[in-house]
Amino acid sequence: MILRHKLLLAQMPLALALLLVGVVAVNTLRELGRAGQGILADNYRSVLAMQDIIEHLERLDSAALFIVAGERQRGLVQVEANRAPLETTLRIQEGNITEPGEAEATRRLSEAWSRYQTRYERFLGQEEGGARGVYFETLAPGFQAAREAARAILVLNQDAMVRKSEAQQRQSQRVNVLMGLAVVGALAGGLVASASLTQRALRPVGVLSGAVRRLGEGDLGTRAVVEGGDEIAGLARDFNAMAEALQRYQRSSLGELLQAQASAQAAIDSLPDLVVVFGVEGGVLNVNRAAEEALRLSLEGGGMLGQVEPEVRVVLERVRAHVLGGKGAYLPTGYEEAVRLEAPEGARWLLPRGSPVYGEGGGVVGATVILQDVTRLRRFDELKNDLVATVAHEFRTPLTSLRMAIHLCVEEAAGPITEKQADLLHAAREDCERLQGIVDDLLDLSKLQSGREVLELRPVSTREVLEAALAPHRMAAEDKGVRLREEPDPEVEDTRVEADPERLQLVLSNLVANAVRHTPREGEVVVRARRDGEARIRFEVADTGEGIAPEHQARIFEKFYRVPGSATGSAGLGLSIAQEIVQAHGGELGLTSEVGRGSTFGFSLPRSRRDEQG
- Tell the smallest beta-carbon distance from residue 448 to ligand ADP (Å): 14
C-beta of 525: minimal distance to ligand ADP in Å? 8
- Which among 536, 516, 501 is positioned nearest to 609, based on CA atoms? 536
Sheet with 364-373, edge to edge strand ranges: 284-287, 274-279, 364-373, 346-358, 339-343
In Å, what is the CA distance from 576 to each residue of 220, 445, 590?
A: 66, 8, 12
350 contacts 331 by C-beta, under 8 angstroms:
no
Residue 518 C-beta: closest distance to ligand ADP, Å: 3
Considering beta carbons, is residue 320 or 562 the nearer one to ligand ADP? 562
Q: Which residue is nearest to ligand ADP (CB)?
A: 574
**CA-CA distance, 435 to 403, in Å (whole number)?**
10
Maximum CA pair distance of the chain? 237
State in angstroms the smallest separation of the CB of 556 from ligand ADP.
4
The nearer residue to ligand ADP, 514 or 608, going by C-beta atoms, is 514
Q: Name the residue nearer to ligand ADP (CB basis): 79 or 432.
A: 432
C-beta of 338: minimal distance to ligand ADP in Å? Answer: 22
Half-sphere exposure in the Cβ direction for 214 (13 Å, CA) = 15
Question: Residue 61 or residue 580: which is nearer to ligand ADP going by CB?
Answer: 580
Instruction: Name residues whose C-beta falls within 8 Å of residue 235's C-beta, 6 or more positions apart in sequence.
Output: 208
Contact residues toward ligand ADP (CB under 6 A) are 514-515, 518, 543, 545-546, 548, 556, 561-563, 566, 570-576, 599
Q: How far is the CB of 479 from ligand ADP (least distance, A)?
A: 17
| Closest by CA position to 158, among listed 120, 102, 114 | 102
Nearest approach in angstroms of CB 582 to ligand ADP is 13
Instruction: With CA atoms as reference, report the closest residue to 49 among 88, 4, 82.
Output: 88
Residue 561 beta carbon to ligand ADP: minimum distance, rounded to whole angstroms: 6
Spatial CB neighbours of 530, under 8 Å, sequence gap ≥ 6: 489, 491, 492, 537, 538, 540
Cα 265 to Cα 286, 292, 301, 302, 424: the distances in Å are 9, 13, 19, 19, 68
Alpha-carbon gap, residue 513 to 507, rounded angstroms = 10
CB of 359 to ligand ADP, least distance (A): 38
Crossing angle (nearest 10°) for helices 72-94 and 45-68 = 160
Q: Rg of the chain over CA atoms, in angstroms?
A: 72
**What are the phi and psi torsion angles at 493 (to 5°)?**
-50, -40
Nearer to ligand ADP, 510 or 608 (CB): 510
In the bound state with ligand ADP, the residue whose beta carbon lies nearer, of 544 and 608, is: 544
Q: Which is nearer to ligand ADP, 51 or 600 (CB)?
A: 600
Q: Closest distance between ligand ADP and the C-beta of residue 589, in Å? A: 11
Amino acid letter, 208: L
Q: Which residue's CB is nearer to ligand ADP, number 133 or number 520?
A: 520
Alpha carbons within 13 angstroms on the beta-carbon side of residue 299 total: 9
Nearer Cβ to ligand ADP, position 349 or 601?
601
Which C-beta is closer to ligand ADP: that of 395 or that of 561?
Answer: 561
Q: Are 505 and 468 in contact (CB under 8 A)?
A: yes
Q: By C-beta, is 42 or 441 nearer to ligand ADP?
A: 441
Strand 524-532 versus strand 483-488 pairing type = parallel
How many C-beta neighbours within 10 Å does residue 319 have?
Answer: 25
Q: How far is the CB of 512 from ligand ADP (least distance, A)?
A: 9
222 vs 599, beta carbon nearer ligand ADP: 599
Instruction: State in angstroms the smallest separation of the CB of 396 from ligand ADP.
Output: 18
The least CB distance from residue 571 to ligand ADP, in Å, is 6
Residues 6 or more apart from 320 whose CB is under 8 A from it? 278, 282, 354, 367, 369
Rounded to whole angstroms, the Cα distance separating 424 from 415 reads 16
Sign of CA dihedral 464, 509, 488, 455: negative
Alpha helices in 125-139 (DSSP H): 128-134
**Minimum CB distance to ligand ADP smaller for 93 or for 514:** 514
Nearest distance from C-beta of residue 272 to ligand ADP, angstroms: 34
Determine how β-strand 346-358 pairs with β-strand 598-606: unpaired
Q: Compare residues 92 and 563 and give the one whose CB is closer to ligand ADP.
A: 563
Inter-residue contact 164 to 38 (CB < 8 Å): yes
